[in-house]
């Protein structure tokens, strides 16, 4: 029997506000432990939360970009549980009336080939159940010694939780959704996309069912999938585990599991019986939140061109491939960089190749901000123009690129300095060709008598005179023409 | 409405509270009374009435919400002042994950 997986994702994203969601403490990452705390985020008695306007604004922005319906009135609720990183004994979240509901995103999603490459990109639609606001908990450290250590600097950092529909039918689709969501959040400047530092976190719900069946199977939840690699690996493992259980006649139990990156498998964290009963109730310390039509329109007006729209526009305008466009649109600034370069050159496809090839490789290697990259868009455009006019070969271009990456010179200047600029000027080359022919009449006669191998001799002579800078293609062509 | 001792125990457990058998029995009666009261309220037809989430009439909106400005936080030692156990600037608590 063939099985198909059903996957839904829950994504938590920290909002890039300056202050926390309910108090004026800084949200900055790191720093001295517990030194970004106050009575509110420490959960001391007698304090009241004061909702951060910017956190609401950012959450609405994301909700609009995900085509959600913004609830004019939404309600904060207490989620009760005991954990040392939650000083109040409850988390302020939203429950039966979230900020936004019923969204949908369209994005490019591919399939993984046997060789592990992503192929067959297609536009797919995925639903969003809800988006709500909540506060982050503090951070517990368990790995040192006997005890747990708690740092409450993160307590009260604003979060949005985005819950997708169970619309993904492969780990790749879930991966592509998270990739595209992360990119969207970065474009909107509401989240830094840093999964390592935990500013973007992901849980997944997974079940499998016989292909063609309407009914969902029993699902498990996998927590803390904090990198793209872990997400895909954990999903693939869990899907396979459930299929094997069902094939062997075993039951899949509803439980929460964790991914163990070392052993590369998921393991049970808690069973259904141990599941938390959070006893949600409306937060008495906060009146309901009203997002008026006017406010949400004001926020909508600040939304920039979104990555998918940008990608489509770049493909249509410059004729570049989906795969290249996906890489280029990874960030707004990279897309802007590309557009500037592409507008200065007649060969935007070649610019895209360079950008997604050597450029990205060097940029990644150096891990510097784009603004610090010394190769500017104009340089890239100029280099492609030099290749296209035959002044430098593709191979030389790679050398020049490496050179200008450190020197910041214009490519033509670097080519000149390195003496690698090719002579592609036909008139100039033809003059040299003719003088070589005039000075080597003996070889000319032999060549014309059938010793065509002598072409190499003439090439060598011209190269000697041009210090190896003659464009080989044009030179060959000119020699053949002039030798008759 | 009858409440079992197991249910009371479960609620106590969720609240991280421990009670004697006798106390639990007291709660059975009290819980039942509360639920009966709610049951009585449920008799009223509220179909056309919007739920009230809060006693305050004004909602939080773009005008009255807090501006995103930071304020001075506690110095670390003040934040930790009430903590029974501290190490290297952190609250030390019994291990929560095995």
Query: Domain containing B31 — which CATH number?
Result: 1.10.20
**Interchain contact, B96 vs A83, CB within 8 Å:** yes
pLDDT value for A470: 84
Which tokens go with A392? 């430098």
User: A222: exposed, middle or buried (C-beta count within 10 Å: 0-12, 13-18, 19+)?
Assistant: buried
Point out the least confidently predicted range of A124-133, A312-321, B10-19. Answer: B10-19
pLDDT digits (tens, 9 = 90+) for B41-69: 999 999 998 888 888 888 999 999 999 99
Question: What are the chain B neighbours of A286 within 8 Å (beta carbons)?
Answer: 54, 60
Residue B89 lies in a domain: no
**Interchain contact, A286 vs B90, CB within 8 Å:** no
Instruction: Please check the confidence at residue A180 and state whether its pLDDT lies above 60.
Output: yes
Is residue B87 within 8 angstroms of chain A, CB to CB?
yes
Give domain limits for chain A. 3-298, 307-418, 426-483
**Interchain contact, A55 vs B73, CB within 8 Å:** no
**Interchain contact, A23 vs B60, CB within 8 Å:** no
pLDDT value for B97: 64
Find the mean pLDDT for residues A121-135: 96
**Interchain contact, A146 vs B95, CB within 8 Å:** yes
| CATH number, domain A426-483, options 2.60.40.10, 1.10.3720.10, 1.10.10.410, 1.10.1200.10 | 1.10.10.410
Find the mean pLDDT for residues A432-461: 90
Is residue A47 within 8 angstroms of chain B, CB to CB?
no
Residue B73 lies in a domain: no
Question: What is the residue whose two structure tokens read 């004004």?
Answer: B58
Is residue A284 within 8 angstroms of chain B, CB to CB?
yes
**Interchain contact, A24 vs B79, CB within 8 Å:** no
Nearest CA in chain A to B86: A149
Is residue A456 within 8 angstroms of chain B, CB to CB?
no
What is the total count of domains within chain B? 1
Instruction: Please check the confidence at residue A65 and state whether its pLDDT lies above 60.
Output: yes
At B56, is the secondary structure helix, strand, or coil?
coil
pLDDT value for B16: 85
Instruction: Please check the confidence at residue A294 and state whether its pLDDT lies above 70.
Output: yes
Smallest CA–CA distance, residue B13 to chain A, in Å, is 11
Residue B64 lies in a domain: no
**Interchain contact, A19 vs B53, CB within 8 Å:** no
Q: Which of A287, A295, A298 sits opposite B54 (nearest CB)?
A: A287
Is residue A459 within 8 angstroms of chain B, CB to CB?
no
pLDDT digits (tens, 9 = 90+) for A1-28: 899 999 999 999 999 999 999 999 999 9
Which tokens go with A192? 């830094």
CB-based contact A91:A79 (threshold 8 Å): yes
Is residue A133 within 8 angstroms of chain B, CB to CB?
no
Residue B30 lies in a domain: yes
Q: Which of B70, B88, B95 sits opposite A25 (nearest CB)?
A: B70
Q: Which of A35, A149, A286 sits opposite B91 (nearest CB)?
A: A149
Interface of A with B in 150-179 (CB under 8 A): 150-152
Instruction: Please check the confidence at residue A137 and state whether its pLDDT lies above 80.
Output: yes
pLDDT value for A469: 81
Instruction: Please check the confidence at residue A322 and state whether its pLDDT lies above 80.
Output: yes
How many residue pairs from chains A and B have C-beta atoms closer than 8 A?
A: 137
Instruction: Please check the confidence at residue A113 and state whether its pLDDT lies above 90.
Output: no
Q: What percent of chain A has pLDDT over 70?
A: 100
Nearest CA in chain B to A278: B14
CB-based contact A344:A314 (threshold 8 Å): no
The C-alpha atoms of residue A257 and residue A193 are separated, in whole angstroms, by: 24
The C-alpha atoms of residue A175 and residue A180 are separated, in whole angstroms, by: 9
Point out the least confidently predicted range of A106-120, A213-227, A358-372. Answer: A106-120
pLDDT value for A346: 87
pLDDT value for A351: 95
Residue B13 lies in a domain: yes
Question: What is the residue whose two structure tokens read 């299929």?
Answer: A243
Nearest CA in chain A to B52: A288
The number of CA neighbours under 13 Å toward the Cβ of A329 is 27
Residue B10 lies in a domain: yes
Smallest CA–CA distance, residue A296 to chain B, in Å, is 10
The number of CA neighbours under 13 Å toward the Cβ of A142 is 8
Strands A255-260 and A220-223: parallel
Range of the domain at B11: 5-42
**Interchain contact, B62 vs A292, CB within 8 Å:** yes
Show pLDDT as tens, one digit a residue, over chain B (98 residues). Answer: 788 999 999 889 888 899 999 999 999 999 999 999 999 999 999 999 888 888 888 899 999 999 999 999 999 999 999 999 999 999 999 887 64
Mean pLDDT estimate for chain A: 92
For A479, list phi and psi in degrees, rounded to 5.
-65, -50
DSSP conformation letters of A243-259? HHHHHTTPPPP-EEEEE
Is residue A37 within 8 angstroms of chain B, CB to CB?
yes
Q: Which of A37, A282, A295 sits opposite B73 (nearest CB)?
A: A37
Find the mean pLDDT for residues A277-291: 94
Is residue B98 within 8 angstroms of chain A, CB to CB?
no
Find the mean pLDDT for residues A431-452: 90
A315 vs A273, residue with greater confidence = A315
Is residue A282 within 8 angstroms of chain B, CB to CB?
yes
Residue B48 lies in a domain: no
Nearest CA in chain B to A73: B59
The C-alpha atoms of residue B98 and residue A258 are separated, in whole angstroms, by: 14
Is residue A300 within 8 angstroms of chain B, CB to CB?
no
Residue B47 lies in a domain: no
**Interchain contact, A277 vs B14, CB within 8 Å:** yes
Q: For chain A, what is the total number of helices (H) and then of strands (E)? A: 16, 16
Is residue A51 within 8 angstroms of chain B, CB to CB?
yes
Residue A376 CA to its chain's centroid (Å): 22
pLDDT confidence of A419, banded at 50, 70, 90? confident
Q: Which of B16, B54, B68 sits opposite A288 (nearest CB)?
A: B54
Is residue B67 within 8 angstroms of chain A, CB to CB?
yes
Is residue A80 within 8 angstroms of chain B, CB to CB?
yes
Interface of B with A in 5-64 (CB under 8 A): 10, 14, 16, 53-54, 56, 58-62
pLDDT confidence of A424, banded at 50, 70, 90? confident
pLDDT value for A465: 86
Smallest CA–CA distance, residue B98 to chain A, in Å, is 9
Nearest CA in chain B to A87: B91
CB-based contact A20:A157 (threshold 8 Å): yes
Question: What are the chain A neighbours of B79 within 8 Å (beta carbons)?
Answer: 34-35, 37, 42, 152
């Amino acid at each position: 029997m063939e099985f198909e997986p059903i996957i839904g994702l829950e994504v938590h994203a920290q909002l890039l506000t300056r202050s926390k969601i309910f108090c004026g403490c800084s949200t900055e990452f790191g720093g001295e432990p517990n030194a970004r705390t106050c009575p509110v985020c420490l959960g001391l008695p007698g304090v009241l939360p004061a909702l951060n306007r910017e956190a609401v604004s950012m959450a609405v922005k994301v909700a609009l970009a995900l085509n959600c319906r913004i609830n004019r009135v939404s309600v904060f609720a207490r989620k009760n549980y005991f954990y040392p990183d939650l000083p109040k004994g409850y988390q302020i979240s939203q429950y039966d009336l979230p900020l936004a509901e019923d969204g949908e995103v369209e994005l490019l999603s591919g399939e993984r080939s046997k060789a592990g490459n992503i192929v067959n990109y297609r536009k797919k639609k995925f639903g969003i159940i809800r988006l709500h606001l909540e506060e982050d908990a503090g951070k517990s450290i368990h790995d040192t010694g006997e005890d747990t250590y708690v740092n409450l600097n993160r307590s009260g950092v604003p979060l949005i939780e985005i819950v997708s529909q169970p619309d993904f039918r492969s780990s790749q689709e879930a991966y592509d959704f998270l990739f595209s969501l992360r990119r969207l959040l970065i474009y909107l400047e509401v989240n830094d996309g840093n999964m390592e530092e935990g500013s973007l976190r992901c849980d997944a719900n997974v079940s499998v069912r016989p292909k063609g069946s309407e009914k969902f199977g029993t699902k498990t939840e996998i927590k803390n999938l904090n990198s793209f690699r872990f997400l895909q690996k954990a999903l693939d493992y869990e899907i396979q585990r459930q299929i094997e259980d069902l094939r062997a006649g075993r039951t899949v139990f509803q439980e929460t599991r964790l991914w163990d990156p070392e052993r590369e498998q998921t393991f049970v964290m808690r069973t259904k019986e141990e599941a938390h009963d959070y006893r949600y109730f409306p937060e008495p310390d906060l009146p309901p939140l009203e997002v008026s039509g006017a406010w949400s329109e004001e926020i909508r007006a600040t939304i920039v061109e979104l990555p998918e729209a940008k990608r489509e526009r770049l493909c249509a305008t410059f004729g570049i491939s989906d795969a290249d466009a996906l890489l280029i649109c990874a960030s707004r600034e990279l897309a802007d960089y590309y557009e500037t370069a592409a507008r200065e050159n007649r060969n935007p496809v070649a610019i895209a190749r360079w950008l997604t090839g050597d450029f990205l490789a060097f940029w990644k290697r150096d891990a510097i901000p784009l603004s610090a990259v010394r190769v500017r868009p104009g340089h890239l455009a100029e280099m492609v123009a030099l290749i296209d006019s035959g002044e430098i070969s593709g191979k030389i271009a790679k050398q020049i690129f490496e050179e200008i990456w450190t020197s910041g010179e214009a490519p033509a200047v670097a080519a000149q300095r390195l003496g690698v600029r090719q002579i592609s000027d036909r008139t100039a080359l033809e003059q040299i060709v003719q003088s070589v022919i005039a000075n080597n009449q003996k070889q000319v006669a032999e060549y014309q008598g059938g010793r065509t191998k002598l072409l190499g001799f003439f090439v060598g002579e011209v190269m000697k005179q041009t210090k190896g800078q003659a464009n080989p293609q044009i030179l060959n062509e000119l020699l053949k023409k002039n030798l008759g | 409405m009858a409440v079992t001792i197991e249910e009371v125990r479960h609620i106590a457990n969720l609240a991280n509270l421990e009670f004697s058998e006798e106390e639990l029995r007291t709660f059975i009666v009290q819980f039942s009374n509360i639920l009966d009261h709610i049951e009585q309220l449920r008799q009223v037809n509220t179909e056309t009435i919007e739920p009230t989430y809060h006693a305050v009439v004004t909602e939080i909106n773009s005008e009255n919400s807090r501006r995103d400005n930071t304020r001075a936080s506690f110095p670390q030692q003040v934040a930790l002042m009430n903590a029974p156990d501290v190490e290297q600037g952190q609250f030390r608590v019994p291990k929560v994950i095995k």
